[in-house]
Amino acid sequence: MTSTEPKIVVIGGGTGSFTLLSALKNHTKQLTALVNMADDGGSTGLLRDELGVLPPGDIRQCLVALSTASDELRELFNYRFPKGTFGGHSFGNLFLSAVESMTDDFSDAVRIAGDVLRIRGRVMPVTLDDCQLVLQDGGHKIKGQYDITYTERHLNGRPQLSLEPQAALNPLAREAIAEADLIILSPGNLYGSLAPALLVDGIAEALKNSPAQLVFVCNLVNKPQLTRDFAVHDYASEIERFIGKDALDYVLYNNDEPEPELLNTYALDEEFPVRVDLSALEKAHYKTIAGQFLSRAPQQGDANDTLIKRSLIRHDGEAVAEALLKLL
Residues 139 and 128 sit within 8 Å (Cβ to Cβ): no
Share of the chain above pLDDT 70, in %: 93
Name residue 211's amino acid. Answer: P
Q: d(Cα 275, Cα 232) in Å, to the nearest integer?
A: 6
- Whole-number CA gyration radius for the chain: 19
Is residue 2 pLDDT above 70, yes or no? no
Q: What integer is the mean pLDDT of 285-300?
A: 87
Whose CA is closest to 63, among 6, 10, 103, 121?
A: 121
Dump pLDDT digits (tens) for 214-272.
999 999 999 887 898 999 999 999 999 999 999 999 999 999 998 888 899 999 989 99
pLDDT band at 1 (very low <50, low <70, confident <90, very high): very low
Beta-bridge mates of residue 80: 90
Average of per-residue pLDDT values in the chain = 90
**Helix (H, G, I), strand (E, B), or coil: what is residue 316?**
coil
| Separation in Å, CA 158 to CA 109, 155, 230 | 36, 7, 11
pTM for this one? 0.91
> DSSP strand E in 138-207: where?
140-143, 160-164, 182-185
Residue 111, helix vs strand vs coil: helix
pLDDT (mean) for 131-137? 89
Non-local CB neighbours of 128 within 8 Å, separated by 6+ positions: 37, 54, 106, 107, 170
Q: Alpha carbon of 289 to those of 114, 224, 252, 324: distances in Å? A: 33, 26, 4, 9
Mind listing the pLDDT tens digit for each residue in 89-112?
899 999 999 999 999 999 999 999
Helix and strand numbers (H, E) in the chain are: 14, 10
